């Protein structure tokens, strides 16, 4: 059930005798916490009244391309297609299925399906001989190849009096299969991550700063991979131009280590994470007394006194729950296993991702990375040189294994 909660579902209803069951489909989805918007084909209105589906979904039902011919208004099929996390067509007639294959746009539903950026799931419903006709079989094969998920019809007595395969799956099974499908798409749904990423800049004066060469590319790749698998991500980034556009990522941009610390603590206090990943390259020290305004070249001091920055990761790890999986990053010069093992303890981490600047193509300013996952003296997993996206995928696989072995997300996060 949890995987449907809050999901936005565009439900397409077509002109099958099974359309009466779409009322129960709406009820099942709404009961599971989903938001449902119904789009009917004109044919579907012969079988069930829009008023029924509008009342059960709590929203106006759309079925025509134009809203009000006299006023010249139209239904925004593009907006509907973009709104959904999924378009579910239940029941799906042979006619609408063939329209999907051909890319036709002669009903509002078909135009929504052409505009949709989200995945599509269909529950075919038709007479036995229509279902087994080569045209239907080939059309369903084509849609499967395009990534459409098909909820198989059941076998039994059909409206025509024939017995065989073609009955639309029962509404409860549609809800269960959709829920399982969402879970497969997003195995980490309901979990929350806190990531720090990128460099920090420690001001000397208004224009000069002490910084480092971190691009933020690795942290961004991790955030995107976590969000793709369904997680909500609080992403605290030092100055970096690498985009992290995803509805699951809440990004806070900061400059200095002190700002990063404050933003990370605020995120943690707002919602307890299930995983913390400290991927930021935080400056170890900062100028003790940054100068206001721009100092002229002649007036620059000969020496700048420094003070240590706080250990951000150790600080937020100490505030996190004991069930939270805590990951730190370490950049070594040469083999850094000893240093990584020390960091594991001093920062109270469960795992250190170790990369070395002496490995060709690894670390800052590269699109690739070579890492070891250091869990302890008895478990160090070494990986080949890969793109930072592939490293992110390895790391998220590990996070996923860890989280799914631990408590359920709601229990950990107190939500």
Q: Which residues are tagged catalytic?
A: 212
CB distance 130 to 92 below 8 Å: no
d(CA 53, CA 107): 18
Report in angstroms how near the CB of residue 154 gets to ligand FMN at its nearest.
13
Report in angstroms how near the CB of residue 113 gets to ligand FMN at its nearest.
11
3-state secondary structure of 79: helix
Closest to 325 (Cα-Cα) out of 412, 236, 196, 225:
412
Q: Is 39 or 232 the residue whose CB approaches ligand FMN more closely?
A: 39
Report in angstroms how near the CB of residue 159 gets to ligand FMN at its nearest.
6
Report in angstroms how near the CB of residue 181 gets to ligand FMN at its nearest.
23
Q: CA quadruple 277, 280, 284, 286: dihedral positive or negative?
A: negative
Report in angstroms how near the CB of residue 184 gets to ligand FMN at its nearest.
28
Chain Cα centroid distance, residue 24: 29
Q: Is 22 or 256 the residue whose CB approaches ligand FMN more closely?
A: 22
Tokens of 306: 């420094």
State the DSSP H helix or E strand holding residue 28, giving kind and residue range, or none if neither: helix 22-31
Report in angstroms how near the CB of residue 99 gets to ligand FMN at its nearest.
7
Greatest Cα pair distance in the chain: 96
Each as own residue / partner, the long-range contacts of residues 152-156 (CB below 8 Å, 24 or more positions apart, any chain) are 153/123, 153/124, 153/125, 153/126
* Helix 108-115 with 94-102: angle, nearest 10 deg: 40
Report in angstroms how near the CB of residue 363 gets to ligand FMN at its nearest.
56
Q: Is 108 or 353 the residue whose CB approaches ligand FMN more closely?
A: 108
Q: Which residues are within 8 A (CB) of 368 and not within 5 positions of it... i.e. 6 or more apart? A: 361, 362, 385, 386, 387, 388
d(CA 390, CA 412): 28
Report in angstroms how near the CB of residue 29 gets to ligand FMN at its nearest.
20
Whether residue 406 has a cis bond before it, omega within 30° of 0: no
Contacts with ligand FMN by CB under 6 A lie at 14-18, 41, 43-44, 93-96, 107, 125-126, 130
Rounded to the nearest 10°, the torsion over CA 82, 88, 93, 99 is: 30
Q: Is 363 left (phi over 0), alpha (psi -120 to 50) or beta?
A: left
d(CA 391, CA 369): 7
CB distance 268 to 185 below 8 Å: no
State the DSSP H helix or E strand holding residue 237, giving kind and residue range, or none if neither: strand 232-237
Tokens of 257: 């280590």
d(CA 314, CA 346): 7
């Amino acid at each position: 059930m949890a995987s449907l909660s809050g999901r936005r579902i565009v439900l397409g209803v077509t002109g099958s005798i099974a359309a009466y069951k779409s009322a129960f489909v709406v009820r099942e989805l709404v009961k599971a916490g989903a938001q449902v918007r119904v789009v009917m084909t004109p044919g579907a209105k012969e079988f069930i009244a829009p008023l029924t589906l509008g009342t059960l979904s709590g929203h106006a039902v759309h079925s025509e391309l134009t809203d009000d011919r006299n006023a010249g208004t139209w239904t925004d099929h593009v907006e509907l297609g973009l709104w959904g996390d999924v378009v579910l067509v239940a029941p799906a007639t042979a006619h609408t299925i063939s329209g999907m294959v051909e890319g036709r746009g002669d009903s509002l539903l078909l135009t929504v399906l052409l505009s949709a950026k989200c995945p599509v799931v269909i529950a075919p419903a038709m007479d036995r001989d229509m279902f087994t006709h080569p045209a239907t079989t080939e059309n369903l094969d084509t849609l499967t190849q395009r990534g459409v998920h098909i909820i198989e019809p059941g076998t039994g007595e059909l409206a025509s009096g024939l017995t065989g395969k073609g009955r639309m799956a029962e509404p409860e099974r549609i809800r269960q299969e959709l829920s399982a499908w969402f879970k497969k798409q997003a195995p980490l749904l309901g979990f929350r991550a806190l990531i720090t990423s990128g460099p920090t800049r420690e001001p000397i004066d208004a224009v000069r700063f002490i910084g480092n060469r971190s691009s933020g590319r690795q942290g961004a790749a991790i955030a995107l991979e976590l969000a793709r698998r369904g997680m909500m991500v609080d992403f605290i980034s030092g100055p970096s131009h690498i985009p992290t556009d995803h509805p699951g990522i809440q990004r806070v941009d900061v400059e200095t280590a002190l700002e990063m610390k404050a933003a990370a603590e605020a995120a943690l206090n707002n919602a307890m994470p299930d995983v913390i990943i400290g991927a930021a390259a935080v400056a170890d020290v900062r100028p003790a007394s940054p100068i206001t305004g721009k100092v002229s070249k002649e007036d620059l001091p000969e020496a700048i006194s420094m003070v240590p920055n706080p250990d951000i990761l150790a600080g937020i790890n100490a505030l996190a729950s004991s069930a939270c999986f805590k990951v730190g990053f370490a950049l070594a010069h040469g083999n850094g296993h000893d240093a990584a093992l020390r960091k594991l303890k001093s920062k109270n981490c469960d795992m250190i991702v170790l990369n070395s600047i002496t490995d060709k193509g690894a670390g800052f300013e590269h699109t690739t990375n070579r890492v070891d996952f250091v869990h302890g003296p008895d478990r160090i997993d070494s990986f080949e040189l890969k793109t930072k996206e592939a490293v992110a995928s390895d790391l998220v696989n590990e996070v996923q294994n860890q989280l799914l072995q631990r408590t359920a997300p709601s229990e950990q996060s107190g939500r």
